[in-house]
Amino acid sequence: MQRTPRKLLTALFLAMACSTAAAQDNGRWALCAAPLLEPVAGDAEQRSTGETPVRISADEASVSDVPPVYEFTGDVMLRRGDQTFTGEQLRYDTGAGEIQADGAIRLRESGLLIAGERARYWLAPERGRFEGVSEYRIAAGHLQGRAERVIREGPTRSRYEGVTLSTCLPGREFWTLRAGSAEIDTESRQGRARDAVLAIGGLPVFYTPYLQFPVGDERLSGFLAPTIGQSQANGATLALPWYWNIAPDRDATITPTVYGKRGLMLGGEFRYLEDWVEGEAAGSYLPNDDAFGEDRWSIDQDHRLAIGGSLRGRLHQQRVSDPLYTDDFSNDFDTRSAAFLESEASLAWAREGFTASVDTQYWQQIDQAIRDNDQPYAREPRLQLGYNPLDGIGPLDYAFNAEVTEFTHPLSERTRGRRVDVAPRVALPWRRLGYYLEPAVTWRYTEYDLKGSLPGDNATPSRSMPIYTLDAGLFLERPGTLFDGVYQTLEPRLFYRYAPRRDQSDLPVFDSAATTLTYSGMFRETTFSGPDRIEDGERLTTGVTTRFVDERSGREYLRASVGQIHYFGDREVAADGDPARNQSEIITELRLDLPRGFSASTDYRWDPENSGNRSLRALLRWQGRDERIVNLGLRQRERDGDTTLDQAEASFTVPVGTGWRLFGGLLQDLQGGDARERFLGIEQAGCCHAWRLVSRESLQRDPDRDDARLERSFMLELELRGLGGIGDRIRPYLRDEIDGYDPGR
């Protein structure tokens, strides 16, 4: 054997190659102080060709046998594409493409690092065995740890024996998984561990004989992060969700929840997404509630249908076992207290101006303080038809709408029956660049077929009346005088409406009610929500809007509107409840959207005929970088000089350091000085973990005392990134309570 000592010897070989690469997800691991693996030089694709050279440098080298077998010692480095082997001793068989190394050996390539005491490795099939692995790192999944043995079965699949695993940075392990064996496949993005013990902060907390975990962001069946809570009504709570990745377009989450004072509840959610239909169905079941004494359950499902561009459908159902369900389990942040739960199904078709739909709707009463007589009517069913073409007949625009509805009620003595409503409309619009004028007439015909208690002597009452309108407005603009690049508009508007007087006392009231008057609502033909009542009489609405708009971007910085309705003569049917009024309240609206995240909205109204009637709704928001949000709100209402509403609200979320965030909110009754709801929470997110804690106080109905009481609850969530997802109950709650906050963005 010939031995040739050199300070630097370079040998050139041709070898087979294949590639393995995994890119670090810098977004998901943005809180890590440093990347798990730095990029390497070289192209991983070069290892998949037969012409990729192998370059080796060392302090000393020797060669023997045919085909040549080389032995290198002293600062050995073997390069092939992006792949690098380094160590003190290395033997390379060119015929078999085999590497053997004793002593320290280190393999580095795109997305992978393995450092061990001994190795035997074949370059062409990317297979080998590493013994005494002191360190391994896999960029796909942000995985790192140690192992007694690593067996690489190919460029994407490896087996680990006597392994520790973590997604934390080396030396900063918040959590570690110790397993007898593990398999990691970077192509399928899945990992499996057997005989595994999870340790947090070095303390073992959980054992499982088998665990499946994702390698990256791919969805994978397995347990998600648990949720821990405490409330006066339910006691200690523990929820452990299990995620089932059924298919790319279907998944499910099964969540057993233990309530200390109630028992074990089994909840589940199924989601699916097809080309023509999508939806989700959720439900829960608690057998023999220890505190309630009966079975408890809930159903909440929503399915949406879309076929082509014309057919749409929806099925939405909300049902619970008993009226107290939403109160007893609202502390889990899954449900919000409501007076009624709505269920509906609909199917609609639209094409070339034609529309047709059929729907049904019913309610479940939740608030027992509401009298049975005041429950809303159900639609079983309603059929609607319409035609509103884009092109009219000459200068005329026309439209037609009709509906047939069957109304039912749980009380047999209540008025119920069928309603038919027809409303054709003809308009003559005249629109120019700076102004518009549109006279129109709508003929409204409504008839009923009633049973039960009748509002009059006639079981088949009807009403026929025309509605005449004239809508006119100007659009003026000028360069802004306060800021460059901003122009100001002035948009006065008049809306005249006349409807002859008709006797409507024999007509029932199924789904019609006076809507809250807004600035835009003053310019509608009717201020009732349904056709059971139509306001009669003659009125004129006057209003004006001014806007400040950016000339380049079109961004609207400010919009202010003020308007009022003037009535000519008394009315028989009045949406405001006072047919003798000469004028409505004065309605003002202000919308402000400024740079640097400031926005505000104010709705203020006052009654010129009664100074004791006024209302105010003001909201102020600041939204900065890194999800910094502060919301302030005020709601006030006076009727005949008596304060009926005086509430202030506030909510915020702000980071308080790297990885730390505070959030909170308050709804305060200023008149009585009592808090109606408040919450305070904290979040800490690190490189490989996150936890959230929320303490909440909210008013809950007390059926024993027939009033409400302030009940406290808290909830804790823990996420171990790389092992489980978020126990996702706190984040939806924060999204609902903090206006503008989107933690999933």
Q: What CATH number does residue 154 fall under?
A: 2.60.450.10
What is the structure's pLDDT at 601? Answer: 95
With contact defined as beta carbons under 8 Å apart, do 93 and 54 qualify? Answer: no
Q: Rounded CA gap, 55 and 123, in Å?
A: 13
Q: Rounded CA gap, 709 and 512, in Å?
A: 34
Q: Rounded CA gap, 190 and 214, in Å?
A: 5
Report the domain count for the chain: 2
Whether residue 254 is contained in a domain is answered as no
Indicate the residue among 218, 235, 270 that finishes a domain: 218
pLDDT in tens, 582-610: 999 999 999 999 888 999 999 999 998 88
Q: For the chain, how many helices (H) and strands (E)?
A: 2, 44
Residues sharing a CB contact under 8 Å with residue 50, sequence separation 6 or more, in sequence order: 14, 15, 16, 17
Position with higher pLDDT, 303 vs 126: 303
pLDDT reading at 16 higher than 70: no
CA gyration radius, the chain: 36
pLDDT in tens, 421-474: 999 999 999 999 999 999 999 999 999 999 988 998 899 999 999 999 999 999
Tell me the one-letter amino acid at 503.
D
Backbone phi, psi, residue 330, to 5°:
-70, -20
Whether residue 519 is contained in a domain is answered as yes
With contact defined as beta carbons under 8 Å apart, do 307 and 339 qualify? Answer: no
Q: Which tokens sit at 521?
A: 């609502």
Backbone phi, psi, residue 47, to 5°:
-75, -10
Q: Which of 217-226, 684-693, 703-712 has the largest mean confidence?
A: 684-693
Whether residue 35 is contained in a domain is answered as yes
pLDDT in tens, 285-324: 999 999 999 999 999 999 999 999 899 999 999 999 998 8
Whether residue 212 is contained in a domain is answered as yes
User: What is the domain range of residue 449?
Assistant: 385-593
Helices (H), 145-254: none
Question: What value does the mean pLDDT of the chain take?
Answer: 87
Whether residue 576 is contained in a domain is answered as yes
Please tell me the total number of residues recorded for the chain in this structure. Answer: 745
Of the candidate ranges 184-198, 356-370, 540-554, 725-739, the one whose mean pLDDT is the lowest: 725-739
pLDDT in tens, 255-268: 999 999 999 999 99
Q: Rounded CA gap, 132 and 110, in Å?
A: 22
pLDDT reading at 24 higher than 50: no
Q: Rounded CA gap, 88 and 65, in Å?
A: 22
Of the candidate ranges 236-245, 383-392, 424-433, 466-475, the one whose mean pLDDT is the lowest: 236-245
Backbone phi, psi, residue 325, to 5°:
-60, -50
pLDDT reading at 571 higher than 80: yes
Query: How many other CB atoms are there within 10 angstroms of residue 516's CB atom?
Result: 10
What is the structure's pLDDT at 725? Answer: 53
Q: Is 327 helix (H, G, I), strand (E, B) or coil?
A: helix
Indicate the residue among 539, 567, 593 that finishes a domain: 593
User: What confidence tier does 277 reach under pLDDT thresholds 50, 70, 90?
Assistant: very high
Indicate the residue among 218, 246, 266 that finishes a domain: 218
With contact defined as beta carbons under 8 Å apart, do 98 and 120 qualify? Answer: yes
What is the structure's pLDDT at 533? Answer: 94
Q: In the beta sheet, which residues pair with residue 15?
A: 52
With contact defined as beta carbons under 8 Å apart, do 167 and 721 qualify? Answer: yes
Whether residue 246 is contained in a domain is answered as no
Residues sharing a CB contact under 8 Å with residue 719, sequence separation 6 or more, in sequence order: 225, 689, 690, 691, 725, 726, 727
User: What confidence tier does 724 reach under pLDDT thresholds 50, 70, 90?
Assistant: low
What is the structure's pLDDT at 126? Answer: 85
pLDDT reading at 332 higher than 80: no
User: What confidence tier does 566 reach under pLDDT thresholds 50, 70, 90?
Assistant: very high
Q: Rounded CA gap, 98 and 740, in Å?
A: 59
Whether residue 102 is contained in a domain is answered as yes
Mean pLDDT of 162-171: 94
Mean pLDDT of 481-500: 92
Helices (H), 257-375: 325-328
Q: Rounded CA gap, 274 and 437, in Å?
A: 47
Q: Is 172 helix (H, G, I), strand (E, B) or coil?
A: coil
Whether residue 700 is contained in a domain is answered as no
Of the candidate ranges 122-131, 500-509, 696-705, the one whose mean pLDDT is the lowest: 696-705
What is the signed CA dihedral for 531, 535, 537, 540, rounded to 10 degrees?
-110
Backbone phi, psi, residue 139, to 5°:
-65, -40
